[in-house]
């Protein structure tokens, strides 16, 4: 073995009562009518005897800073651990509960606030459970490439990172304790009309991996830099049959990555979490924004009336939504605001996991991975928050939904890349 770790895993179901609102789409005002597939919070504790990290994934649209702070506080009541060593993210399903104000105009009433507190408690208790009964393990890392799951959702012919990155932890008897799957693609196969709670395609791959490798194995999905990546141009429908089909595509590629995986050094655990003031957008004056809104509205109406593909209609619809959100931002924020948020890095042996609190455009995730001094670097979005899209200059000029709905400035992408790489370098210096 190239080093040993002690690993513990746990998962708990997140029960969402019927009638609770669902997060992810504008205009879906009706509450859910039931659950199609259970959603979970999952935790993995990794320890080398001196240092430990707790990785937590949640089958929800997002988490926010309040949730993370409360989860960490509850964990610290039972365990001696620092905030930087607790990594909390969400898979970004658009078929989960709406317990966070994820965009302007979203109102969280008392009933949904109570559900949020209940979920916080479930997440914390599950994380604490993962620290018990740690099993001596070694770490493997594998990669594969997937075609047909997603694509760039603005330009379907654009290049993007289609890699599937898989970390597995195996016992000395080669039983798999836990699997981390990292791939960047919006879980939006299920659309606005769906009223059933679901983890979308990540739920399928997690279920299948756990069934394949035994009931004590837990699979955790960590979404990547998927701000402009989705199934918009690759899906055949927006129903649960398509969720299964897409999920099985990814499952096959996860198994391929695991079959080709190699053991890595895994003695060392380093964690860092640092808060930054992110570059904010200088919002346009209201006249300019209104003109853009009227143009987007007109284009949307023409698209809905025309004989064009549903994909192109969706593009027109989202551009209109982005223009509308810009007006809301001007009215509610103006330019008098700051964006203070964390970037987090957990390094376990030869793997670095970079968590960002944003919807990061794919090319910035690629830049982090390609320039990282840790060969096997994963980029994970929706970590410690979901503060909006970090987009390219071209996307803003094109009037895309992602750029126009964002509170971030046009240089935020380079900022995230630079700060992420700096944190990785800082961790390497700790080792030296």
Q: What are phi and psi of 416, to 5 degrees?
A: -60, -40
3-state secondary structure of 124: helix
Query: Which runs of E-coded beta strand occur in 330-416?
Result: 340-348, 351-355, 359-360, 376-380, 389-390
Per the structure block, which two tokens stand in for 264? 């890595």
Task: Give 54: exposed, middle or buried? Use CB within 10 Å, 0-12, 13-18, 19+.
Answer: buried
Closest CA to 3 of 331, 251, 198, 264: 264
Question: Is 112 annotated for ligand binding?
Answer: no
| Beta carbons of 390 and 359 less than 8 angstroms apart | yes
Question: Is 183 annotated for ligand binding?
Answer: no
Closest CA to 66 of 355, 357, 272, 331: 357
Cα separation, 221 vs 184, whole angstroms? 10
Per the structure block, which two tokens stand in for 87? 């990594």
| Beta carbons of 339 and 278 less than 8 angstroms apart | yes
| Beta carbons of 132 and 140 less than 8 angstroms apart | no
Lookup result for tokens 């999905």: 221
| Beta carbons of 83 and 26 less than 8 angstroms apart | no
| Radius of gyration over every alpha carbon of the chain, rounded to an integer in angstroms | 21
| Beta carbons of 379 and 343 less than 8 angstroms apart | no
Query: Which runs of E-coded beta strand occur in 269-405?
Result: 269-277, 340-348, 351-355, 359-360, 376-380, 389-390
Lookup result for tokens 């789409």: 25
Sequence-ordered alpha helix ranges (H) in 77-183: 110-130
Return the H-helix or E-strand segment holding 155.
none
Cα separation, 377 vs 350, whole angstroms? 9
Closest CA to 274 of 375, 354, 360: 354
| Beta carbons of 140 and 170 less than 8 angstroms apart | yes
Annotated binding site: 92, 186
Annotated binding site for Zn(2+): 92, 186
């Amino acid at each position: 073995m190239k080093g040993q770790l002690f690993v513990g895993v746990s998962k708990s179901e997140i029960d969402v009562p019927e009638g609770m609102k669902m997060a992810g789409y504008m205009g879906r005002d009706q509450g859910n009518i039931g659950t199609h597939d259970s959603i979970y919070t999952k935790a993995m504790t990794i320890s080398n005897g001196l240092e430990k990290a707790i990785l937590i994934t949640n089958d929800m649209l997002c988490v926010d800073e309040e949730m993370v702070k409360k989860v960490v506080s509850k964990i610290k009541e039972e365990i001696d651990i620092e905030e930087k060593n607790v990594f909390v993210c969400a898979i970004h399903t658009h078929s989960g509960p709406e317990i966070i104000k994820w965009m302007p105009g979203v109102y969280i009433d008392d009933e949904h606030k109570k559900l949020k507190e209940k979920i916080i408690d479930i997440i914390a208790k599950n994380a604490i459970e993962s620290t018990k009964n740690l099993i001596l393990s070694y770490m493997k890392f594998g990669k594969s490439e997937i075609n047909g799951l997603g694509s760039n959702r603005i330009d379907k012919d654009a290049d993007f990172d289609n890699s599937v990155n898989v970390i597995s932890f195996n016992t000395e008897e080669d039983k798999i304790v836990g699997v981390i799957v990292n791939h960047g693609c919006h879980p939006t196969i299920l659309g606005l009309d769906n009223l059933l709670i679901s983890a979308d395609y990540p739920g399928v791959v997690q279920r299948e991996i756990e069934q394949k490798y035994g009931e004590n194995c837990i699979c955790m999905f960590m979404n990547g830099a998927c701000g402009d990546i989705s199934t918009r141009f690759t899906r055949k429908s927006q129903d649960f049959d398509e969720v299964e089909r897409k999920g099985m595509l990814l499952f096959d590629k996860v198994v391929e990555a695991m079959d080709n995986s190699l053991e890595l050094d895994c003695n060392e655990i380093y964690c860092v979490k640092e808060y930054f003031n992110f570059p904010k957008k200088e919002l346009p004056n209201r006249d300019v924004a209104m003109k853009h809104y009227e143009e987007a509205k007109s284009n949307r109406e023409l698209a809905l009336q025309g004989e064009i593909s549903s994909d192109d209609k969706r593009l027109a619809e989202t551009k209109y939504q982005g223009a509308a959100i810009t007006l809301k931002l001007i009215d509610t924020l103006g330019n008098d605001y700051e964006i203070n948020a964390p970037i987090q890095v957990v390094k376990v042996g030869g793997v670095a996991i970079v968590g960002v609190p944003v919807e990061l455009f794919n090319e910035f995730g690629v830049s982090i991975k390609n320039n990282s001094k840790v060969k096997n670097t994963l980029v994970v979005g929706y970590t410690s928050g979901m503060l909006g899209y970090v987009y390219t200059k071209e996307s803003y000029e094109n009037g895309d939904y992602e750029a126009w709905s964002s509170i971030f400035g046009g240089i935020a992408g380079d900022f995230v890349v630079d700060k992420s790489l700096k944190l990785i370098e800082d961790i390497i210096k700790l080792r030296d």
